[in-house]
Amino acid sequence: MTAPMTDSITAPTFVLGPDFKGFPPAAPACALADIGGQGWNVLGDDLPFPLAVLKRSALEHNVAWMQDFAQRKGILLAPHGKTTMSPELFAAQMVAGAWGLTFATVFQARVGVAAGARRIIIANQVVCDADLDGLDALLTQTEGLRVWFLVDSLAQVTLIEDWVRRRASTRVFDVLLEMGIPGKRTGCRTLEQALEVAQAVARSASLQLGGVECYEGNAANCDSEHDAREVTALVRRVMDLALACDSLRLWAAQEDHILISAGGSAVFDLVVPLLRMQGLALPLRGVLRSGCYVTHDHLNYRRYLRNVEMREGLDASLRPALTVWAMVQSVPEPGLALLTCGRRDISSDIDLPTPVRVARKGLRTADEVPAGWSIEALNDQHAYLHFDAAGAAGPQVGDRVELGISHPCTTFDKWRWMPLVEDDGRVCGAIHTCF
């Protein structure tokens, strides 16, 4: 049993105030650690709308569930921090047992280091001088820190060696060789290309090869048969690469293990065979990098998780923890209500938000929205809620509507803080973000 989420939040020096969206405009500034003692309730209209909130019970469940999944499968977990960029949530994940954290940039990695992470995978190529300078400084300043980033080309290897020469540096960077998917994101396209890069890394005095990596999410389309076939094909390609590197003895000489890493939040179960592969000369550490699991969602990842549950024989798994509350500000015509929430407040890059619950004006209880309510469009500051004007009681000005989302990443980056709430709307704590 891990510590409660509120016990894992230790940012007493971070102060919130009226200059933060979602903070009560008339309230005095307050330390983040003291938010839970203010007596606020989302359904008591103590905070302004729109308001992104995190349900504590679902967060704690998700953090524990994914850590348990990794432990049951005999693999390690390095949650992708780009999802939340929240030091408090990073701390909760590490307290629960995460092996390390994953990030996409050197900037993000610095936030993870400040939160206490000492094993970091940058699941991306590091290529520019400023980032190499920053990573070099971070490694120099932080005792015990290990950072691995991705390589996928001879050009990148040459670029890094040029940086070392121009800086007169003795730095040796840890890297993972990335295998990609034709037509998709980064990564070597063929075994031959990957081995050429691996051999260049092995010859380099500035790099050391710690393992191999892939991202399987680009192969999935939420059809379980298709996803299993395509991800398995990628897994086999990465296994072939790892075995080839092993036979050529291309791993860093001083390492006593090999890292193999994969895993988004949609089809993470399908990469477990890769993370547990056999036949390598050194012990394997298989590292799963899922990130969006921490809050899950109501749409995109929920669709994928139904397939995971079927493949794994589960009755349930993750729970939606992140929603955005908005107020009905206008009902200008039958069947249309405008909410105080738009693109600046909520994700819309995969799906438009979906109405989940409604709290009628003046009430501290919320019910499921009537059938047929839907968000059909977003402006910068408005959501267009369509409903059946002849059906059940429609939304009224002053009602509060809770919106579910797809893709938590692009809701988190719109908020500098979020309250933690109990199931009844009581505010019990808070987190802040570092985008």
- Look at the block and give the residue holding tokens 């890069």: 197
In the prediction, which pLDDT does 391 show?
79
Burial grade of 160 (CB within 10 A; 0-12, 13-18, 19 or more)? buried
pLDDT for residue 367 is more than 90: yes
pLDDT for residue 177 is more than 50: yes
Using 50, 70 and 90 to split pLDDT, how confident is the model at 5? Answer: low
What is the length of the chain? 435
Answer whether 335's CB lies under 8 Å from 373's CB. Answer: no
- The pLDDT of 281-303, averaged and rounded, is 97
- The pLDDT of 277-306, averaged and rounded, is 97
Residue 251 CA to residue 285 CA, distance in Å, equals 14
Q: Over the stretch 109-119, which tens digit does the pLDDT of each residue have?
A: 999 999 999 99
- The half-sphere exposure of 352 on its side-chain side, counting CA atoms within 13 A, is 16
pLDDT for residue 9 is more than 60: no
Q: In the structure encoding, which two tokens stand for residue 244, read together?
A: 């080839």
In the prediction, which pLDDT does 403 show?
98
- The pLDDT of 78-82, averaged and rounded, is 98
Residue 126 CA to residue 108 CA, distance in Å, equals 12
Residue 194 CA to residue 202 CA, distance in Å, equals 12
Q: Over the stretch 90-149, which tens digit does the pLDDT of each residue have?
A: 999 999 999 999 999 999 999 999 999 999 999 999 999 999 999 999 999 999 999 999
Residue 62 CA to residue 294 CA, distance in Å, equals 5
pLDDT for residue 1 is more than 50: no
